[in-house]
Structure 1
Amino acid sequence: MSRLARLAAAHGVCTSYDPAPGRTLQVPDATIVEVLAALGVDASTPDAVREALDRHAGEEAARLLPPTVVVRVPRPPRPDAPYAAEASAVRGVLPPLPDGTVLSVETEDGRVLERVAQAAGPTAGRLPPGCHTLRAQAPDGRTARAALIVAPDRFPAPPGRSFGLLVQLYSLLSSRSWGMGDLADLADLAAWAGREVGAGFIQLNPLHSAVPAGEGESIDPSPYRPSSRRFADPVHLRIEEIPEYGYLRGEARERAAELVDRAAGLREATLAEDGRIDRDAVWELKRRALELVRTVPLSPGRHVAYCDFLAEQGQALEDHAVWCSLAEVHGPDWRSWPGGLDDPRSSATARARAELLDRVDFHSWLAWLTDSQLARAQRTARDAGMPVGLVHDLALGVHPSGAEAWSLRDYLADGISVGAPPDAFNANGQDWGLPPWRPDALAAAGYAPYRSLLSGLLRHTGGLRIDHVMGLFRLWWVPQGRPPTEGTYVRYDAGAMLGMLALEAHRAGAVVIGEDLGTVESGVRAELAARGALGTSVLWFERDYEYLRTPRHETPRPLDPQDWRADCLATATTHDLPSTAARLSGDHVRLRDRLGLLAGAFADEQTQDAAETAEWVAHLDRLGLLPEGAGEEESEIRAVYRFLARTPAKMVGVWLPDGVGDRRPQNVPGTWGDRYPNWRLPVADGDGRPVTLEELVASPRLRALLETVYEELHGPREGRIPAPGEHGGQREEDLGAHPGGREGHHDGHRAAPRPGVQGHPGRVPSGDVR
């Protein structure tokens, strides 16, 4: 092994990768040098490599403790028993220490456990789950300290089997929203879905704060390229539900009424045929309305609640609000700001903060309002009987010019972008334009920035979806100026990343779902399953790859429902894939042809797609899931979801647009700009006519689909709540909570062993295209 390769291995940088079984490619030396530079390691010359190796060896020899230590806590024998670790378990995860070294632990609550896990001596106590401080003192006088993460060894389990809705919130417009779906719409959908059809959860797109538009530009609508993942975007606020809105008087009230009228016009334009969501226009109206609402003083109780929120969120909120305020003055790219403002801890930034204190408070107030409405939506979901409620989505990364990249710049790799290597889906690889975490900086900080991010996201949720969950193990780093083909993998401490995630998920009582589609390193799915994380299984890609290995078989047949893995969220599609109606009809092939995205000739692609679809429909028919017969779209969509419900999957996700036959994907990977309106489409019916929330919940087609899924999972409904219009004007709140989310479930289908090859090997992107 060369010196450069040894240096790369010491810092978790891979020098080769396997794009396919039995095929290994070497990473260019220039890439390795640039990636090491992003980790603060000079490898630019042979002498520099030699010096870096010697320095690393010396540091390792002198190190008494690693920067972060992770201890996994086994599950207690009783469900009500607390998780805790014997302090002696600490030594079991440490490298060899000099004889006589004394360890002590300072727990999060301030207790100090002395003489912990000495080579000889009694156990000093039990450690609760949390982020503690481990100290060591060697006989030669050396001392050291490290972060000690004591984490449950498994994520919280889903509370029984359930189905839920997969919703892009911006696309869900009601007759009261301002041109795009908002948090009040979400609460209304949750109340209806929980009570009327027995849904157990609603999985959302990322609600992260977006990068504001620069001069003459538009807001990036992609929820997977946000400014900050820590705080939700206030564009999701329902203005009229802010308590202070009702106390506007005089001219302010008149101006607010004008904005409401303009919002109605914007909503109608969005709901018109071929309407598009105009996020810029929506935010401009809401920003002006919020400026008016802020003139109303908070009541004493509301003021105290706001102050509590500020104290709870601390530095993270202040940094976010300062960045938002500076962006209003200097534009949204902090890398172009005047001298000193690119550093959140500089004296220049401190002076600017003082000068912009009113705007800093404004953006902090917006974060509080958004957090409050998110909390209400989750309470509504749980009150409606949902055992999980909202499932939020954690994007893989952030926009390089946004608030998180500015405030956490010391923890993100400069000059590097995350992407994917070349594969069967994209021979050129992918560059998503997202700066990655620096694994060395995270470890040195005891993973505190990562923990802060998780705790913020998990405040008001029953579940968290991790986009590209493979990134907790390794990420494809692409140096700036190089094509994705010249990137390399950089490894992370998966034990620490998963441990912190398990710790925060348990504190929130939240289920964890990993998006593990595409190219997945061997062992990753097994490790996630062993920890209780759910994977993501999409019907069209679940085929029997063991069948492929038998003689005379070239095409893997559809996997039978009982052979699916149980630890997954089973779906028919995702935000990056065609809707079920488009898949069944072949519309998605025609769309990709119009956009110039087909890899082969249109006729060949169409023939292949039609054959695959026909094979699936025939499979559904053989299983008795098409009692109405094949050939009718609505029946075939119901059959798809009957199939999903008959798998042992612990969670079944229903793509909401499938309930009304929407044929348009929300995002087409590989397109941008005006080629396709990614992330800007309202939910529509099969003819492309936008459908409001009120029309959705009154749709017999959607109700029939959801009741079909419920009955497959739980059997016939008892005490069914009347459909809209059947209860003679009875108010929803008088109907009572639906028992579906709280009653026992039958397990109908037993989990079978997972096939040796999981996922789809060639036609699924390695990750979401941002």
Structure 2
Amino acid sequence: MTDEQSNGNAAAAVAKEASADGETQSSQRTESAARLARPLIRLAKASGLATSFIDQLGTYTEISDEALIAVLKALNVDASTPQAVTQSIENLEASERAQLLPPTIVGVVGKQTRVELNCASDADVNVSITLEDGSAFTDFTVLPSFNSDRPVLTLGDDLPMGYHTLTATVVTPDDAAATPTAAVPGIRTGTATIINAPERIPVPEAVQERHRWGWMAQMYSVRSHESWGIGDYGDLQRMLADAARKTGADFMLINPIHAGAPIPPLEPSPYLPESRRFLNVTYIRPQDIPEYATLSAETRAKVDALHDSVAYRNEESTPMDINAAWEAKRPALRLIFDAGRSAEREQQFEAFKAAAGPDLDSFATWCLCFEVWGAPWGENRWFFEKTIDDPAVRELVAAHYDLFEFNRWLQWIAAEQVTAAQQTATESGMALGLMQDMAVGVHGLGADAWANPERFATGGVTVGCPPDFYNQQGQDWGQPPFNPRYLEATGYRVYREMVHSMYEHAGAVRIDHMLGLFRLWWIPQGLGARNGAYVMYNHEAMLGVLAIEATRAGGMVVGEDLGTVPDYVRQILAERGVLGTDVEWFSRENDSPNAGDPYKGPEEYRKQALASVTTHDLPPTAGYLTFEHVKLREQLHLLSEPVEEFAASALAERTAMMNRLVESGYISQSVADDVPAHIQEIVEAMHAMLTDTPSLLLQAALVDGVGETRSQNQPGTSSEYSNWRVPLADEDGHVVLSNEVFDLPRVQSLAAVMRGERQ
């Protein structure tokens, strides 16, 4: 019997309890008392699942029993039969009774933190708190609670910002009877991580002065003659400097630069990385490595020849061949690695490895297995058959230690080059500099999932989103979700390290699918994206991590909060100092989903937001105005309705936007009546509207600056379209290089608009 059949039969058995549900889903907005009383629903809620939700269209939806059972299984909670549900409830209650204190405690800097201990009020309690720097914190009290028979630990309001460790030991005769398996009868010990964070992420002083603006660029798409067929960290450094000095930009948002596969075939999507903890090494520029300058003439000639073998592609406007670029660059990097380093540089490398810790070794081991044993899919079963502690894996590392070390070295070089880019940005006058983009998750067969499977949910569940008016079938992103129980039990260490590593070389971080900090749509294998369930996460803990790391870096956090996002989520984000995302093409009055409905005026945008005209999932504005998305979706057979209907809705949407621009005085009616003849004027008018919003940060897409019309990404496709491989080109299809892009008159004109210098 397959898992799908098993879950289906189990769902049928448990569903017999649902017959008492009275109201229909179409008429109600909350779950009925009868549904809430069902054991399966009680177990699901106690396990952190939402058993109903309101979708983007305002429709009340209840999660199916089938989905609940499958998602509970992924959390190692058995709900396969009514008897199993009862037993799981009992197990959960027993676990809660045995827990002395929660494993993660979130506090607020400058405020007292209270923690109720799960023991008798007259118990002998011993508490110690070790601060992040290793010193002891002694400003706390343990007193009986006025509202219960349990003692309350109160931490003083002078607890510093950071990640601290709380240890509590309780001695009581009652506990000996309750916990006969304790190592020492009558003694219970609990340990917790305290995440003590600022209540609100402070707005940097430069952003407090006035709103700041920046560019959005797909970094890989912008190349120079020194590139290897795709844009690299050298191009990024040049673009940041030029964007600051030539256009006055204060930041640049780029595509995610998380780590990918070590050898081809490479995954083109930057939103499906192999690891979010480490960097994409395919973007390294070999010529910028210090050791390149000291190579022997013979070795340098070999490196240069490898560059020349792909450099001609930098002038091509056709989709980039990312595999060919890496097949030339990787051996060049190996030549530089093999040439050795000075004693000082070797010491720096050793320091990097020590700071990165065991996760770097795990990642390098996965890379080694990938290269020697092959990609971990198809007939190569090592991903499933061997763990990182397998003797065969240890033997492989010993036999190929030079390759293991090479992969660690690549991470060091990538980190150096991204750090140099951020340093150049700030030295050139940018208020924030580099804005990194954090993907939602990782590849299910990637390094993170293999080396540390305990961090992720089991049972083949993946992350996505339920149906909305952007995708009527819902979306399955194919990524395994973090296990919220693991995060909680470990004080969110893996999330802390990931966020910290991003702020090491960034002034701001954009969080893709910000709702994922509150809840994620888990999709059980075989059920389809429509039939998933929301699993709740401790958003206070993860927002606390973001607040600590952003505050330490003097940076900002931007949350992508488009789509099905409850109002309370946006309110909490705003209270915590996290900026939301406002996109002109989506910003209709009353958040209407209907194409053709009126658009908001600029005064209605949020102050606590990053405002832009478009996103990377839409065609550039010039293409959107000329209906490139209609043509492309028809060509790729992506429409679920007649093309005439989709074209009519696109025209209604454009007409509504022109009406807004005319009404607000950004264009004349004659311009609105002849869009194809006034593309640049309309694009600049839409950006001019941004400058009249109260939003703290404003963003212009580089593709809009040069007049590009081609989409970088067409959602719902993989091999059907050249996603994430389209090089930057102007309105005539000519490639635009990184060293010339900010000198183009059209880019300069849009920059003047963003600076508020429009005529």
Give the TM-score, by structure 1 length: 0.85
Q: Which amino acid aligns with 2:114?
A: R
Match of 2:256 in 1: 206
Specify which of 729, 735, 746 is matched with residue 701 of structure 1: 746
CA distance in 2, matches of 1:115, 1:170: 51
Q: Which amino acid aligns with 1:571?
A: S
Match of 1:109 in 2: 133
Match of 1:179 in 2: 229
CA distance in 1, matches of 2:413, 2:740: 28
Match of 1:597 in 2: 638
Specify which of 107, 113, 127 is matched with residue 159 of structure 2: 127
Match of 1:358 in 2: 402
Specify which of 561, 576, 584 is matched with residue 531 of structure 1: 576
CA distance in 1, matches of 2:321, 2:286: 17
CA distance in 1, matches of 2:412, 2:595: 57
Relative to structure 1, the CA distance from residue 94 to residue 500 in structure 2 (aligned partners, 3 Å threshold; closer, same or farther) is: farther
How do 1:458-473 residues align onto structure 2 when only pairs under 5 Å count?
A: 458-473=503-518
Specify which of 694, 713, 734 is matched with residue 667 of structure 1: 713
Relative to structure 1, the CA distance from residue 262 to residue 97 in structure 2 (aligned partners, 3 Å threshold; closer, same or farther) is: farther
Q: Residue 343 in 1 paired to residue 390 in 2?
A: no
CA distance in 1, matches of 2:56, 2:240: 43
Relative to structure 1, the CA distance from residue 358 to residue 708 in structure 2 (aligned partners, 3 Å threshold; closer, same or farther) is: same
Match of 1:278 in 2: 321
Specify which of 34, 42, 46 is matched with residue 10 of structure 1: 46
CA-CA distance at 1:301 after TM superposition: 1.8
CA-CA distance at 1:484 after TM superposition: 1.4
Match of 2:217 in 1: 167
CA-CA distance at 1:616 after TM superposition: 1.6
SS in 1 for 2:107: strand
* Contact 2:556 2:578 (8 Å CA) reproduced: yes
Greater shift after overlay, 432-441 or 620-629? 620-629
CA distance in 2, matches of 1:403, 1:339: 9
SS in 1 for 2:739: helix
Specify which of 330, 336, 344 is matched with residue 287 of structure 1: 330
Match of 1:385 in 2: 429
Relative to structure 1, the CA distance from residue 22 to residue 226 in structure 2 (aligned partners, 3 Å threshold; closer, same or farther) is: closer
CA distance in 1, matches of 2:538, 2:213: 33
Specify which of 222, 239, 244 is matched with residue 189 of structure 1: 239
CA-CA distance at 1:231 after TM superposition: 1.2
CA distance in 1, matches of 2:595, 2:478: 38
* Contact 1:342 1:406 (8 Å CA) reproduced: no
CA-CA distance at 1:72 after TM superposition: 1.8
CA distance in 1, matches of 2:383, 2:621: 52
Q: Which amino acid aligns with 2:329?
A: K
Q: Residue 492 in 1 paired to residue 537 in 2?
A: yes
Relative to structure 1, the CA distance from residue 154 to residue 413 in structure 2 (aligned partners, 3 Å threshold; closer, same or farther) is: same
* Contact 1:340 1:347 (8 Å CA) reproduced: no
CA-CA distance at 1:371 after TM superposition: 0.4
Specify which of 194, 202, 222 is matched with residue 148 of structure 1: 194
CA-CA distance at 1:555 after TM superposition: 6.0
Match of 1:59 in 2: 95
CA-CA distance at 1:599 after TM superposition: 3.5
Match of 2:756 in 1: 711
CA distance in 2, matches of 1:97, 1:650: 50
Specify which of 227, 233, 236 is matched with residue 283 of structure 2: 236
Relative to structure 1, the CA distance from residue 668 to residue 104 in structure 2 (aligned partners, 3 Å threshold; closer, same or farther) is: same
Q: Which amino acid aligns with 2:738?
A: L
* Contact 2:619 2:629 (8 Å CA) reproduced: yes
* Contact 2:596 2:656 (8 Å CA) reproduced: no
CA distance in 2, matches of 1:626, 1:405: 52
CA distance in 1, matches of 2:300, 2:223: 25
Relative to structure 1, the CA distance from residue 443 to residue 172 in structure 2 (aligned partners, 3 Å threshold; closer, same or farther) is: same
CA distance in 1, matches of 2:113, 2:338: 54
CA-CA distance at 1:524 after TM superposition: 0.5
Match of 1:98 in 2: 121
**Paired residue total:** 689
SS in 2 for 1:226: coil
Write out per-residue CA displacement over residues 507-538 of structure 1, whole angstroms, 9 at most, x where no aligned residue: 22221000011111231011101101011110
CA-CA distance at 1:654 after TM superposition: 0.5
Which structure has more relative contact order (CA 8 Å, sep 6+)? It is 1
CA-CA distance at 1:125 after TM superposition: 7.6
* Contact 1:466 1:512 (8 Å CA) reproduced: yes
Structure 2 stretches of 5 or more lacking a match? Answer: 1-36, 145-152, 173-186
CA-CA distance at 1:695 after TM superposition: 3.5
How do 1:442-457 residues align onto structure 2 when only pairs under 5 Å count?
A: 442-457=487-502
SS in 1 for 2:55: strand
SS in 1 for 2:143: coil
Q: Residue 431 in 1 paired to residue 476 in 2?
A: yes
CA distance in 1, matches of 2:169, 2:512: 41
CA distance in 1, matches of 2:529, 2:665: 46
Write out per-residue CA displacement over residues 113-155 of structure 1, whole angstroms, 9 at most, x where no aligned residue: 3472311799768311111111223351422111111111112
CA distance in 2, matches of 1:604, 1:21: 20
Match of 1:399 in 2: 443
SS in 1 for 2:535: strand
Structure 1 stretches of 5 or more lacking a match? Answer: 74-84, 717-770
Match of 1:728 in 2: none
Match of 2:5 in 1: none
CA distance in 1, matches of 2:486, 2:138: 29
* Contact 2:383 2:445 (8 Å CA) reproduced: no
Relative to structure 1, the CA distance from residue 123 to residue 131 in structure 2 (aligned partners, 3 Å threshold; closer, same or farther) is: closer
Greater shift after overlay, 385-394 or 142-151? 142-151
CA-CA distance at 1:403 after TM superposition: 0.8
SS in 2 for 1:54: helix
* Contact 2:238 2:739 (8 Å CA) reproduced: no
Greater shift after overlay, 603-612 or 530-539? 603-612
Write out per-residue CA displacement over residues 184-214 of structure 1, whole angstroms, 9 at most, x where no aligned residue: 1111111111111110000010011113456
SS in 2 for 1:119: strand
Write out per-residue CA displacement over residues 581-614 of structure 1, whole angstroms, 9 at most, x where no aligned residue: 0122222222222222234322332233223212
CA distance in 2, matches of 1:581, 1:49: 56
Specify which of 603, 619, 627 is matched with residue 562 of structure 1: 603
Relative to structure 1, the CA distance from residue 361 to residue 4 in structure 2 (aligned partners, 3 Å threshold; closer, same or farther) is: same
SS in 2 for 1:486: coil
CA distance in 1, matches of 2:190, 2:290: 52
Q: Residue 311 in 1 paired to residue 322 in 2?
A: no
Relative to structure 1, the CA distance from residue 109 to residue 703 in structure 2 (aligned partners, 3 Å threshold; closer, same or farther) is: same
Write out per-residue CA displacement over residues 242-290 of structure 1, whole angstroms, 9 at most, x where no aligned residue: 111122224323322211221222323xx24xx1111100101110101
Write out per-residue CA displacement over residues 421-463 of structure 1, whole angstroms, 9 at most, x where no aligned residue: 1233323221110000000011011111111111111110000
Match of 1:721 in 2: none
Q: Which amino acid aligns with 2:276?
A: R
CA-CA distance at 1:690 after TM superposition: 2.2
Relative to structure 1, the CA distance from residue 20 to residue 361 in structure 2 (aligned partners, 3 Å threshold; closer, same or farther) is: closer
How do 1:321-332 residues align onto structure 2 when only pairs under 5 Å count?
A: 321-332=364-375
* Contact 1:71 1:93 (8 Å CA) reproduced: no
Q: Which amino acid aligns with 1:105?
A: I
Relative to structure 1, the CA distance from residue 202 to residue 94 in structure 2 (aligned partners, 3 Å threshold; closer, same or farther) is: farther
State the 4+ residue runs in structure 1 displaced beyond 6 angstroms: 93-97, 120-125
Match of 2:83 in 1: 47
Specify which of 337, 340, 345 is matched with residue 297 of structure 1: 340
CA-CA distance at 1:334 after TM superposition: 7.6
Match of 1:375 in 2: 419
SS in 2 for 1:163: strand
Match of 1:475 in 2: 520
Give the TM-score, by structure 2 length: 0.87
Relative to structure 1, the CA distance from residue 59 to residue 242 in structure 2 (aligned partners, 3 Å threshold; closer, same or farther) is: same
Q: Which amino acid aligns with 1:670?
A: G
CA-CA distance at 1:706 after TM superposition: 0.3
Relative to structure 1, the CA distance from residue 327 to residue 339 in structure 2 (aligned partners, 3 Å threshold; closer, same or farther) is: closer
Write out per-residue CA displacement over residues 366-389 of structure 1, whole angstroms, 9 at most, x where no aligned residue: 000000000110011001100100
SS in 2 for 1:516: coil
